[in-house]
Amino acid sequence: MGKKSTKPGNETGKTEQLKADTENGQDEFLTTNQGLRINDNQNSLKSGERGATLLEDFILREKITHFDHERIPERIVHARGSAAHGYFELYESMAKYTTAGFLNDTKIKTPVFVRFSTVAGSRGSSDLARDARGFAVKFYTQEGNYDLVGNNIPVFFIQDAMKFPDLIHAVKPEPNHEMPQAASAHDTFWDFISLMPESMHMIMWVMSDRAIPRSYRMMEGFGVHTFRFINEKGKSHFVKFHWKPLLGVHSVAWDEAQNISGKDPDFHRRDLWEAIESGSFPEWEFGVQLVEEKDEFKFGFDLLDPTKLIPEEIVPVKIIGKLTLNRNPDNFFAETEQVAFHPGHLVPGIDFSNDPLLQGRLFSYTDTQLSRLGSPNFHEIPINRPVVDIHNNQRDGHMRHTINKGQTSYDPNTLGGGCPFQAMVKKMGFTSFLERIDSKKIRSRSKSFMDHFGQATLFFNSQSEAEQEHIINALRFELSKVQSPEIRQRMVNLLTQVDKKLATQVAEELGLTAGKPEMPMNHSVPADEDPKGYQPKKGTQLIDRSGALSMEHTRKDSIQTRKIAFLMANGFDDAACTAMRKALEAKGAVVKVIAPKLRMLTSATGIQSAVDESFLTAASVTYDAVYIPGGAKSVAALLQEADAIHFVNEAYKHCKAIAFGADAVKLIEASYIDMKQPDTGLIPEKGTVQKDAFIKAIAQHRFWEREKMRKVPA
Query: Which three-class secondary structure string do you get for 169-190?
Result: HHHCCECCCCECCCCCCCHHHH
> Which of 688, 690, 652 has its CA nearest to residue 669?
652
pLDDT of residue 28: 77
pLDDT of residue 2: 42
Question: 12 by DSSP, 3-state: which?
Answer: helix
Contact 379, 340 (CB under 8 A): yes
CA-CA distance, 507 to 493, in Å (whole number)?
A: 9
> Which of 261, 262, 355 has its CA nearest to residue 308?
355
What residues have CB less than 8 Å from 394, skipping those under 6 apart?
376
> Per 3-state DSSP, what percentage of the chain is helix, strand, and coil (rounded to 5)?
30, 15, 50
pLDDT of residue 437: 86
Q: Is pLDDT at 496 greater than 80 in this prediction? A: yes
Q: Which residues are catalytic?
A: 78, 151
Distances (CA, A) of 649 to 131, 631, 668, 694: 27, 20, 9, 18
CA-CA distance, 341 to 364, in Å (whole number)?
A: 11
pLDDT of residue 540: 44
Contact 120, 77 (CB under 8 A): yes
Residue count (the chain): 714
Contact 30, 37 (CB under 8 A): yes
pLDDT of residue 714: 60
Amino acid letter, residue 581: R
Number of H helices and E strands in the chain, helices first, is 17, 20
Give the model confidence (pLDDT) of 211-223 as tens digits. 999 999 999 999 9
Structure pTM?
A: 0.90
Q: Is pLDDT at 257 greater than 80 in this prediction? A: yes
pLDDT of residue 20: 52
CA-CA distance, 648 to 652, in Å (whole number)?
A: 6
Q: Is pLDDT at 646 greater than 70 in this prediction? A: yes
Torsions phi, psi for 377 (to 5 deg): -95, 25
Q: Is pLDDT at 676 greater than 90 in this prediction? A: no
Give the model confidence (pLDDT) of 400-450 as tens digits. 889 989 999 988 989 999 888 887 655 678 888 888 888 899 999 999 999
Of the two residues 52 and 70, the one the predictor is more confident about is 52
CA-CA distance, 550 to 315, in Å (whole number)?
A: 17
For residue 712, the 8-state DSSP code is P
pLDDT of residue 34: 77
pLDDT of residue 156: 98
Query: Which three-class secondary structure string do you get for 530-568?
Result: CCCCCCCCCCCCCCCCCHHHCHHHCCCCCCCCCEEEEEC
Give the model confidence (pLDDT) of 526-563 as tens digits. 666 666 555 555 544 578 999 999 999 999 999 999 99
CA-CA distance, 38 to 55, in Å (whole number)?
A: 17
Residue 71: which pLDDT band, with cuts at 50, 70 and 90?
low
Contact 139, 88 (CB under 8 A): yes
Rg (CA), the chain: 28
pLDDT of residue 5: 42
Percent of the chain having pLDDT more than 70? 92
Average pLDDT, the chain: 91
Class of residue 121 by CB neighbours under 10 A (exposed 0-12, middle 13-18, buried 19+): buried
Residue 579: which pLDDT band, with cuts at 50, 70 and 90?
very high
Work out the number of other CB atoms within 10 angstroms of the CB of residue 298. Answer: 14
Residue 711: which pLDDT band, with cuts at 50, 70 and 90?
low
pLDDT of residue 344: 92
Residues β-bridged to residue 84: 114
Pairing between strand 45-47 and 441-443? antiparallel
Q: Is pLDDT at 584 greater than 50 in this prediction? A: yes
Helices (H), 595-640: 632-639
Query: Which three-class secondary structure string do you get for 451-502?
Result: CCCHHHHHHHHHCCHHHHHHHHHHHHHHHHCCCCHHHHHHHHHHHCCCCHHH
What residues have CB less than 8 Å from 587, skipping those under 6 apart?
558, 559, 560, 695
Mean of pLDDT values over 309-337: 97
Amino acid letter, residue 117: S
> Which of 253, 243, 256 has its CA nearest to residue 282?
243
Distance between alpha carbon 176 and the CA centroid of its chain, in Å? 28
In order, the DSSP letters of 198-256 are GGHHHHHHHTSGGGSBS-GGGS-EE--S-EEEE-TT--EEEEEEEEEETT---B--HHH
Residue 21: which pLDDT band, with cuts at 50, 70 and 90?
low
Phi-psi region of 78 (alpha: psi -120 to 50; beta: other; left: phi over 0): left
pLDDT of residue 713: 64
> Which of 539, 45, 57 has its CA nearest to residue 302?
539
Mean of pLDDT values over 114-126: 97
Among 92-96, 390-394, 659-663, the range scoring the smallest mean pLDDT is: 390-394
Torsions phi, psi for 54 (to 5 deg): -95, 140
